[in-house]
């Protein structure tokens, strides 16, 4: 990572969680709230961590929690909220539902950072927008996308300056698995020893 870059991590926990049936980040995985795994990983990487959520229950983690400033706009709204609440050059945006990301993957992402480019990993041919670095200098562009209803994160990445990390699926195909419902949660619990 370049020494003059400042980075803050923001974990998105503001989704509707309709498939989970409960607040996704607070759903228990191996006896702990699912969000606690990504929080711990980001803290191991020595990043300041914040949470974007509309639920005060997330304050239990002792971190700053910011309500989504543009509700109903999905992760784009979460990124806007992060930009509004940071003075850092870059925001590492992460979903609360990816508990298997290892600290090495965070370090890999940080090693490719640049002031003016989005840095995102590729998994199985797909760009992963919910574990990526976004320069705060794109705040005005982000506002334009939201105002025009263009809410697809992948489009935002590909239509702005970006660096795509080489595919990671070969080494750890499961590390970006996101958990959207109770059956996926149970599946990850059952396979935990093989995955972690």
At residue 2, the pLDDT reads 43
Within 10 angstroms of residue 115's Cβ, the number of other Cβ atoms is 13
Q: Is 49 helix (H, G, I), strand (E, B) or coil?
A: strand
**Residue 53: strand pairing partners:** none
Instruction: With residue 192 as reference, give the H or E element that holds it.
Output: helix 182-195
Lowest mean pLDDT among 10-19, 38-47, 59-68, 149-158: 10-19
Q: Is 164 helix (H, G, I), strand (E, B) or coil?
A: strand
Binding-site residue ranges for Mg(2+)? 97
Q: Quick check: 5 pLDDT over 90?
A: no
Mean pLDDT of 149-165: 95
Q: Quick check: 154 pLDDT over 60?
A: yes
Which one, of 90, 96, 97, lies nearest residue 47 by Cα? 90
**Domain 7-191: what homologous superfamily?**
Spore Coat Polysaccharide Biosynthesis Protein SpsA; Chain A (3.90.550.10)
Percent of the chain, pLDDT > 90?
Answer: 59
For the chain, what is the largest distance between any 2 Cα atoms, rounded to a whole number of angstroms?
A: 45
List the chain domain ranges.
Answer: 7-191
Q: Could you tell me the pLDDT band of residue 3, with boundaries at 50, 70 and 90?
A: very low
Quote the pTM value.
0.89
Binding-site residue ranges? 12-14, 24, 68, 97
pLDDT digits (tens, 9 = 90+) for 85-129: 999 999 999 999 988 888 988 998 888 766 689 999 887 788 999
Higher pLDDT, 123 or 136: 136
Binding-site residue ranges for GTP? 12-14, 24, 68, 97
């Amino acid at each position: 990572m370049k020494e003059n870059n400042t980075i803050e991590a923001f974990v998105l926990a503001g989704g509707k969680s309709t498939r989970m049936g409960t607040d996704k980040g607070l759903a228990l995985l191996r006896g702990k709230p699912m969000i606690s795994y990504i929080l711990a990983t980001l803290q191991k990487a020595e990043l300041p961590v914040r949470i974007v959520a509309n639920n005060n229950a997330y304050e239990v983690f002792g971190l700053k929690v910011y309500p989504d400033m543009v509700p109903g706009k999905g992760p784009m709204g979460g990124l806007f909220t992060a930009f509004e609440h940071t003075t850092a050059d870059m925001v590492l945006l992460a979903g609360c539902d990816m508990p298997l990301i290892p600290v090495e993957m965070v370090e890999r992402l940080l090693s490719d950072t640049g002031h003016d480019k989005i840095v995102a990993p590729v998994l199985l041919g797909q760009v992963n927008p919910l574990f990526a670095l976004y320069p705060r200098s794109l705040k005005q562009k982000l506002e334009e996308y939201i105002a025009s209803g263009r809410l697809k994160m992948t489009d935002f990445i590909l239509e702005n300056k970006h660096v795509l990390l080489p595919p990671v699926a070969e080494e750890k195909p499961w590390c970006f698995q996101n958990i959207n419902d109770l059956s996926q949660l149970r599946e990850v619990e059952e396979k935990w020893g093989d995955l972690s």
